[in-house]
Amino acid sequence: MSEKMIPLEGETQKKRVCYFFDSDIGGFHYGPGHPMKPTRIRMCHSLVMNYGLYKKMEIFRAKPATKREMTQFHSDEYVDFLSRITPSNMNSYVKEQHKYNVGDDCPVFDGLFEYCSISAGGSMEGAARLSRDKCDIAVNWAGGLHHAKKSEASGFCYVNDIVLGILELLRYHTRVLYIDIDVHHGDGVEEAFYTTDRVMTVSFHKYGEYFPGTGELRDVGVMKGKYYALNFPLRDGISDDNYKSVFEPVIQQVMESYDPSAIVLQCGTDSLSGDKLGCLNLSMRGHANCVKFVKSFNKPLLLLGGGGYTMRNVSRAWAFETGLAAGVELGPEIPVNEYYEYFGPDYELDVKSSNTDDLNTPAYLDRVKRIVLENLRHAGGPPSVQMSNIPSMPIDEDLDDPNQNEDFEDPNDRRPMRLLDSRRQADGELSDSEDEGEGGRRNHARYRDRETDDTNGGHKFGMGGGILNAGSMASHGAGPSGHTTAVRILTSSAAAESAMEVDTSSAESNAGGSVAEAAAPETPATEAPVSESAVDATAEKTEETTETSAEDSKMDVDPTPSTAAP
């Protein structure tokens, strides 16, 4: 089995990573047929956990954003509307729905405000932890909703968590750089900071008869913010190499010219090949290269989600990029997890490019790059900022003293979950309970079984929980229909196959019973006594089964080659 996590080469210093996830996020649903599916975040988290990335970073469940915190950017009336409207009373708010653009792309669904609170809370707390030097990289895949405006929902986005996170960063940082690699233009963030030089927005997106219709090359900002908004319009089907040829030179020049003290990177995955709404042709590694390049500048970095509508590709890419943030590269073989059937038929992590035509000619890309860099030169270097006292916010109390309520916790209860989630395993720190599945011990009932298994070249799959153990599995949300996932067992020889069957049986018996026994119905409490004749019949049947098994075993090691296809 390949290694699940491989340390990155050339990693000079390890980053402290804060990863935000709220288990409630996967329970929200935009409605039948809607392409935005919050389940994708839970799918990504399942990969993150089963790869073992939780050992490399701190995991937090952020405090949901309050109405007061949302009104730092959004209007009071709009936030109040979002907090009041529900599917049951929406007919009483027809006029308001039209006013705030809620109804079609942005439907009303159960728990709408709670969904917005979770998304915004993770981005704001991630920004706050970066500002206080509690981490180097903060990750919130539930964020990145870049289309929401001050008083308007847009493009599946209701509350602009990115703007709220940047506002938090601006309390401590003189200049913040925002980079957007979503297939759609980051219009909500650009509009929010269009007149200021304290935030530079750089967006790489599809332009031309495509939502939201903004992000032209000539849109560079106004007033004090002129030339601090950069847009790189792309055409359909851009490849990894072409994307890299424009992304890296532009960002390199932006870093040298603008010199930000913090970076926000929106990692929308609808720019990946095969996305249901996207039209670009990036592979997972081409997309992740942007994260790797931005990380190399060693600035406080806030990684956010965004678009992405082919769930199996979204979760793959974000899990891989979480690994890059933590300093490791995830192995190609996807570990067993609750969404395993979504990743068939190859069950591999990579998202490959397709053979679609790249309409971005070298001449076009060179011309656009030249104009973008010329606009950047007009900005004239990093602007000076007059800093004042940092205003106090409610989030300050929570971060300055996270244990302020510990006196009210019952000492007889188990340790609070926030302490368990925030624990990061130090390198080289392992215990017997934590290294199951590592170092060749995966799925062995006894440690000495490894020697026989390794000698025979066998490859065992455990019979524990997960999709492989289910006879049939209902699909989660929109995705493949419920079906049985075939377990593919690769063997190097027929002898290894026979040995593996014996090992599997012994492992099952050591674990306390076979799969057949586990699937058997429970015995009634008031069972009739068994007669002696029934016992004798059972014994005879057992002897027959043993003889048959011995004959089958002889057939397994028969050297005669089989004519059947493997």
pLDDT at 414: 61
pLDDT at 23: 94
Beta bridge partners of 301: 137, 263
Q: How far is CA 129 from CA 169, 184, 185, in A?
A: 9, 28, 28
The whole-model pTM stands at: 0.72
Mean pLDDT of the chain: 80
Cβ neighbourhood burial of 545 (10 Å; 0-12, 13-18, 19+): exposed
Cβ neighbourhood burial of 57 (10 Å; 0-12, 13-18, 19+): buried
Average pLDDT on 99-103 reads: 96
CA 481 to chain centre: 22
**Cα three-residue angle 519-524-526, rounded to 5 degrees:** 165
Q: Which of 236-250, 345-359, 552-566 shows the lowest per-residue confidence on average (mean pLDDT)? A: 552-566
Among the listed residues 208, 210, 231, the one whose alpha carbon sits nearest the alpha carbon of residue 219:
231
Which tokens sit at 521?
A: 């119905």
The more confidently predicted of residues 286 and 474 is: 286
pLDDT at 11: 75
Q: How far is CA 184 from CA 10, 247, 268, 273, 507, in A?
A: 33, 16, 9, 14, 51
Q: Which of 65-79, 162-176, 391-405 shows the lowest per-residue confidence on average (mean pLDDT)? A: 391-405
Q: At what angle do helices 284-295 and 240-258 cross, to 10 degrees?
A: 20
Q: Which CATH architecture has domain 6-63+117-379?
A: 3-Layer(aba) Sandwich (3.40)
At 453, the pLDDT band (50, 70, 90 cuts) reads very low
pLDDT at 409: 67
Which residue's structure tokens are 């027809």?
Answer: 94
Q: Which residues of 356-366 are buried (b: 16+ CB within 10 A; e: fewer)?
A: eebebeeeebe
Beta bridge partners of 264: 178, 302
pLDDT at 89: 95
At 529, the pLDDT band (50, 70, 90 cuts) reads very low
How far, in Å, CA of 554 to CA of 548, rounded?
10
Which residue's structure tokens are 């940092």?
Answer: 390
pLDDT at 116: 98
Cβ neighbourhood burial of 166 (10 Å; 0-12, 13-18, 19+): buried
| End-to-end Cα separation, the chain, in angstroms | 21
CA 410 to chain centre: 35
Please, are residues 315 and 43 in contact by the beta-carbon 8 Å criterion? yes
pLDDT tens, position by position, 276-293: 999 999 999 999 999 999
pLDDT tens, position by position, 322-339: 999 999 999 999 999 999
At 425, the pLDDT band (50, 70, 90 cuts) reads low
Is it the case that residue 495 has pLDDT exceeding 90?
no
At 461, the pLDDT band (50, 70, 90 cuts) reads very low
pLDDT tens, position by position, 197-214: 999 999 999 999 999 999
Q: Which of 40-44, 260-264, 448-452 shows the lowest per-residue confidence on average (mean pLDDT)? A: 448-452
- Active-site residue list: 147
Please, are residues 268 and 277 in contact by the beta-carbon 8 Å criterion? no
Q: How far is CA 167 from CA 173, 175, 224, 293, 465, in A?
A: 10, 11, 17, 24, 44
SS3 assignment for 435-452: CCCCCCCCCCCCCCHHHH
DSSP character at residue 333: B
At 387, the pLDDT band (50, 70, 90 cuts) reads low
The ranges assigned to domains in the chain are: 6-63+117-379
How far, in Å, CA of 140 to CA of 156, rounded?
17
Q: Between β-strands 137-140 and 17-20, what pairing exists: parallel, antiparallel or unpaired?
A: parallel
Average pLDDT on 156-173 reads: 97
